[in-house]
Amino acid sequence: MKYRSTRGSKDTKNAAQAVIQGIAQDKGLFVPESIPQLPFALEDMKEKTYQEIAFDVIRSFFTDYTEAELQECVNGAYDKKFEAADIVPMVKAGDVYFLELYHGKTAAFKDMALSILPYLMTTAMKKEKEDKKIVILTATSGDTGKAALEGFTDVPNTEIIVFYPNEGVSQVQERQMTTQEGENTHVFAIRGNFDDAQTGVKKIFNDSDFAEELAKLGCKLSSANSINIGRLIPQVAYYVYAYAKLLEKGAIGIGDKINIVVPTGNFGNILAAYYAKEMGIPVGKLICASNENKVLTDFINTGIYDVKRDFYLTNSPSMDILISSNLERLLYHLSGDNGAEIAALMESLEKNKQYEVNDSMKKGLSEFWACYANMDETNAAIGRMYRENGYLMDTHTAVGYKVYEDYRNETGDQTVTVIASTASAYKFADSVAASIGLDIEQDGFVNVRALHEKTGVKIPAGLKGLETKKIRHKEVLDKEDLKAAVRDALK
């Protein structure tokens, strides 16, 4: 299996090379030349462990990794660092199934991929005889940063640098990052939003002069964002696993279609569901859920991507994004692998802040259904779900649930539905506590304890005692100063 750029470069890479490089030289993202079919029959999925499914799915894409190499990666990633014995519980509440992706060390779905990426990366470095230090450069809207830091902390021959929007993440998310230990970790807040951080990071990746400067220091850039194919592919596994679990529970029969709801900002998590569908998982609708920053909702419904709009800070901050990087990969597939067409669309986005896809690609978007929920609707959904079913959702998952309600009400579709539950409610304790009727305090950690006392829901181990940890990363940068911060971090 080879990987090529979404923007048409003839240069192809194997999986290990693509994982190391992170982003293609022509500024595009790496995609597989073809999406493989499921490596097992649907009827053989039942009773498989998460580790077994993850191995088989990732192996289908990363064919240059040996079975022994990949088994070591999977075994190292999905072990007792996950608090749930089955790694990803599937919980029914009301009329929907929640795929709980947040039982890893940082209590967010990013752990599912970022627990294995360091293993994939270090294995790739050995395979490709890479002698330079790998510098992981990452922008985060809240969860990727901590999960990447946790995964790469003190991994030999790596440095990890994370940028997050100052005042654009929850108190718990910020404290998770600023207290991060490790000799190779560097965390910076920036005066701006996530799009500013992501744009700044992409500019650094595309700066050939800076790459030469780093090479003289014995360093090479890579990414832990979902622009890295090594982040995206492991996420495909949990949608395959979801289907297996529904079969086991008797909720569906072999070949029955399911709907999948994904709250998403950067489009990576729902793109992984699209890949699972393309591999052969029977999926009816992929339901894309946005918050007030509804650029994806508008795009899927019109075919016009337009970032000339107000930006909102919401209580689902991981979705406070206007430039959804992984959408580029979907457009490449829908275009019939037309890299030149995608390059033109991305150039229009950069220059004109918008683009419109052609009729053929608009037709491809019909596999998706999209809507959004505002903060009041999000909070109401949290309260309603808890009152009626005793189930506690975080704000992002609640966006997904509210959009699912809208979809069902509009279409009458009763297909068995899975919602990607992306974070522990405790990461957004202020909003969740208020939504179930608690008086909230200014200190978010007080609200964590109050939420636990009210609901009895277990506080993730990684969040316990967080408020007493020493803050190690305090610097706040202007968005123009990211390159200087990288340079200083590597001195």
Q: Which 8-state DSSP code applies to residue 286? A: E
User: Mind telling me the catalytic residues?
Assistant: 110
**Whole-number Å distance between alpha carbons of 62 and 66:** 9
Q: Where are the beta strands (DSSP E) in 340-469?
A: 354-356, 368-372, 417-421
Q: DSSP of 30-86, one letter per residue?
A: EEESSPPPPSS-GGG-TT--HHHHHHHHHHHH-TTS-HHHHHHHHHHHSSTTSSSTT
CA 43 to chain centre: 29
Q: Give a three-class secondary structure readout of 118-149.
A: HHHHHHHHHHCCCCCEEEEEEECCCCHHHHHH
Phi, psi of 54 (to 5 degrees): -60, -45
CA angle, 397 then 403 then 407, to 5°:
140
Angle made by CA atoms 21, 104, 143, in degrees to the nearest 5: 60
CB distance 101 to 147 below 8 Å: no
Distance CA 332, CA 166 (A): 33
Please give the distance of CA 481 from its chain centroid, rounded to a whole number: 26
Question: Do strands 258-263 and 283-290 pair parallel, antiparallel, or not at all (unpaired)?
Answer: parallel
Tell me, what DSSP letter sits at residue 231? H
Q: Tokens at residue 225, please?
A: 């964002």
Q: Where are the beta strands (DSSP E) in 302-416?
A: 304-306, 354-356, 368-372
From 75, 191, 201, select the one nearest 138 (Cα to Cα): 201
Distance CA 124, CA 448 (A): 40
How far apart are alpha carbons 221 and 192 in whole angstroms?
23
383 vs 365: CA distance, rounded Å: 32
54, two tokens: 């993850």
